[in-house]
Each structure stands twice: as C-alpha cells, then as structure tokens.
Amino acid sequence: MQKAEDKILEESFFQKSISSFKTNRTLQVTSIFVSLILISIPVYSIYGKHNASDDEYQRDLVYVIDGEAGSIAWTSQNNLELSDDEVFTLTLTNEDFPDEAKNMNIIALEISIDIIDYESDNEETNGVGCAIDSGEDAYDSISGIVSTPNNEPLDFEYHSSFTVYSQFFELPEDLIAGFDSPGFITGYTVKEIEKMFQSGDNIVGEYNFEFTGNVESGDSTFQCERQDPSITIDYYFELKWFDVELIEYDDDFL
Ligand SMILES: [Ca+2]
Ligand SMILES: [Ca+2]
C-alpha cells in the first residue's frame, strides 16, 4: 500500500488514457488542470458495508485500474460564423447519441472548438493610410456554457482552439493516481470498484451548448479604419467510453 501511495503525482490514469489524441501544449495543460480538479473533488462512498460475503477479502487487496478507452464522434459543424455578441445554441439529449455509443459506458463528453480567426482574422481595412500602416488584428474569442446532465455547467472563454471535458462519473477520492502509471485503489470489492467507473444514469438528460462570439477590431491607424465583422469556428463533440479492468497488484506489477 505504501508503495502505491508513493505513486501520487499530478495526473490521473484517466486523463492519461484519453489524452493521447491531444496535439498541442494548451490542450495538455487544460487536461492536467481538469485532472487536478477531478482529483480534488470530495466523493463520499455510497457503498455501505454489506453483510460479510465471499468477496470481502478483496477489500484488503490493492487493485490497479486498467482497461480500454476510446472515442466516438457525436456531432460537428464547420465554418460557424458569429457576429459580435451573437449566440449559437444547440440542445441535444442522450437519445441523440450515435447508435454505437448506446451500449457503451460513456464516461465523458469532449467539446473541441477550433477558432479560425486566431490564425487568420478576417479584419477589413479601409483608408488611404492603410498602405503605410494598417495596424494589427485584435484577437477574437468564443465564450460559452455547456451543461450536461447531473453536472455543474462548464463555462469558458478562449481566443485560440481549445478542448473542454464534462465527465459523467466522479473518480473515487481515495484513488491513487500516478503521472506515468495506472491508478491504484484499495478498500473495496471488485464489484464495487467496477461500479465506480460506470456512468449509469448520469448520462441521461439534456445537453445544452451555448457559444457566443466576441469580435474585436484592432485599433485604427492614421487614415486607416479597421473593422471586424465576425468570428468563425469549427466545433466537434466526442463521447469517451471506458471499460474498466482491475488487476490485482503485486510487487512484480511495475
Ligand atoms: Ca479581430
Ligand atoms: Ca474576426
């Protein structure tokens, strides 16, 4: 057990398992941040003591959290153009999940937004002074709120492309997470641990998405006016599935 506790570091096995697709440092930092929040959330076990049964001995063992994980594309849109303060809304339910997700243990929703204007802002210039000094683009941004069933809403604002997560189960507070190793847990039976990693009915209900365009024009220069009509984004949502597999820990594991 002490050996397992030594493995405590700042990223959980879960984030590690779903972060392999990430492509830039911003996303990695976001991921670690979300991971830290998840680990810090207190969770009170709902698993009371049962009458003594054959699997009680498992509470004294340490289990390594392993398993398989993957992604299923849900919905997406390219070239969504918003003017300043324009709000885009979308409401879906779990009934709208793709068929292949319906019998899976869906444990998270990942919302990714690419902000086209970050690399190529569509600001317009007008005036005789533009040839000499046209000034510079000002970054636009997207702010938004995403609410999912049985979760606190996520709110955010970003200038560049980003990803946010909503997770549908709470990691046990006594999960021992390692940066470069799987998580460990002890004190529970196998059945209890497996149940902790099931979303169950937490996915049932409405998913509301609200994205607002914040369009900024760069400062005008001498005899050169700058204007910015809009911000353009691509968004895509992915569902993350996870099937937990427990491995009894022993000294030979690592
Ligand atoms: Ca701009
Ligand atoms: Ca723009």
Ligand in nearest proximity to the CA of 116: 2
- Give the HSE-up count for residue 55: Cα atoms under 13 Å, Cβ half-sphere: 9
Q: How far, in Å, is the centroid of ligand 2 from the Cα of 238? A: 26
User: Collapsing DSSP states into helix, strand and coil, what is residue 194?
Assistant: helix
Return the ligand number nearest the Cα of 120.
2
Contact 183, 35 (CB under 8 A): no
* Helix or strand holding residue 27 (H, E): helix 25-40
Report the pLDDT value the prediction gives residue 52, as an integer from 0 to 100. Answer: 54
Q: Give the ligand with the smallest distance to the CA of 138.
A: 1
pLDDT digits (tens, 9 = 90+) for 133-169: 999 999 999 999 999 998 899 999 999 999 999 999 8
Q: Within 10 A of 101 (CB to CB), how many other CB atoms are there?
A: 18
Q: How many Å lie between the centroid of ligand 2 and the Cα of residue 218?
A: 10
Structure-block tokens of residue 28? 């990695």
Q: How far is the CA of 215 from the centre of ligand 1 (A)?
A: 6
The whole-model pTM stands at 0.73
CA of 106 to the centre of ligand 2 (A): 36
pLDDT in tens, 44-86: 333 444 455 788 999 999 999 999 999 999 999 999 999 999 9
Instruction: Give the full edge-to-edge strand order of the sheet including 141-147.
Output: 87-93, 206-214, 141-147, 154-158
> How many angstroms is it from 112 CA to the middle of ligand 1?
21
Q: How many angstroms separate the alpha carbon of residue 84 from the centre of ligand 2?
A: 9
Report the distance separating Cα 115 and Cα 209, nearest Å.
16
Distance separating alpha carbons of residues 130 and 199, to the nearest angstrom: 57
